[in-house]
C-alpha cells in the first residue's frame, strides 16, 4: 500500500536482519590468544564473519529523505550514500526486463540490497567460504520475512535483477563488493493480514 514505513519499523527490520547484539573480543584479545572479534547477531553467521552490507533504497519511510542508504550495524544507524533522481523509476529499472516484470518493487516503502564483500570470508574459509556466505544470506532473508510478518507488513525477496544496474544503483564496484539478493518491503492491505484465518 502507499502507507510509509515508520523509522521504528525500518529500524526493527534492520536490527532483526543485520543488527549487533554484542561484540566479543578485539585487538587485545587477538594478541593474547589469537582469537578475533566476534559479532553476536540475531541471525546465524558462519565464523561470526559479517560478509554482507545492507544497502537500502528508501522511497517511502517517514522522516527519511528518499535515496540510497547504508545500514551501520555496530551503531544501529543509517548513513546516506546518495540522492537519486526518479528513485522509484530507478528501482523499477533494476528489476524489470522483457521476460519478467518485477516493477512492483517500485511501490515498496523500502528495498533492501544485500551486497557481499567476499574477501571477509575467503581469507579464512578459502574454497568453502562462498557456501558459508550463501547460507548466511539465507538466514538473513528468512529473518526479514519473519520480522515483516511480525509488523504486519509484506516482503518479497528478489533474485532476478540486472547485476550491473543493481550494483551501480547502490554504488558498489561489482567485483570486490556486489549485490547478491534484494527484497521489497511495505505495508499490505488489511485483507492480506488475515491469511491465517482463511487457511482451511
Q: Is residue 81 within 8 Å of 138, Cβ to Cβ?
A: no
Q: Which of 21-30, 126-135, 158-167 reaches the highest mean pLDDT?
A: 158-167
Unique residue bearing C-alpha cell 549485490: 179
For residue 28, the model assigns a pLDDT of 59
Q: What is the pLDDT of residue 103?
A: 73
Over range 183-187, report the average pLDDT. 96
pLDDT of residue 37: 66
Start-to-end C-alpha separation, the chain:
26
pLDDT digit string, tens, across residues 57-92: 999 999 999 999 999 998 999 999 999 999 999 998
3-state secondary structure of 144: helix
* pTM score: 0.87
Give pLDDT, residue 6.
97
pLDDT (tens digit per residue) in 135-179: 888 899 999 999 999 999 999 999 888 899 999 999 999 999 999
Poorest-pLDDT segment among 31-45, 112-126, 158-172: 31-45
Predicted pLDDT at 33:
54
Amino acid at each position: 500500500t502507499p502507507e510509509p514505513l515508520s523509522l521504528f519499523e525500518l529500524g526493527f527490520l534492520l536490527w532483526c536482519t543485520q543488527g549487533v547484539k554484542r561484540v566479543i573480543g578485539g585487538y587485545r584479545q587477538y594478541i593474547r590468544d589469537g582469537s578475533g572479534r566476534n559479532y553476536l547477531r540475531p541471525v546465524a553467521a558462519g565464523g561470526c564473519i559479517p560478509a554482507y552490507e545492507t544497502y537500502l533504497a528508501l522511497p517511502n519511510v517517514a522522516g527519511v529523505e528518499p535515496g540510497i542508504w547504508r545500514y551501520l550495524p555496530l551503531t544501529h544507524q543509517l548513513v546516506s550514500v546518495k540522492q537519486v533522481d526518479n528513485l522509484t523509476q530507478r528501482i523499477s529499472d533494476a528489476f524489470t526486463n522483457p521476460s519478467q516484470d518485477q516493477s512492483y518493487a517500485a511501490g515498496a516503502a523500502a528495498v533492501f540490497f544485500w551486497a557481499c564483500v567476499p574477501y571477509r570470508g575467503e581469507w579464512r574459509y578459502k574454497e568453502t567460504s562462498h557456501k558459508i556466505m550463501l547460507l548466511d544470506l539465507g538466514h538473513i532473508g528468512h529473518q526479514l520475512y519473519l520480522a515483516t510478518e511480525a509488523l504486519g507488513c509484506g516482503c518479497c525477496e528478489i533474485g532476478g535483477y540486472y547485476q550491473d544496474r543493481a550494483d551501480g544503483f547502490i554504488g558498489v564496484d561489482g567485483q570486490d563488493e556486489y549485490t547478491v539478493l534484494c527484497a521489497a518491503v511495505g505495508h499490505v492491505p488489511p485483507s492480506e493480514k488475515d491469511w491465517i484465518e482463511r487457511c482451511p
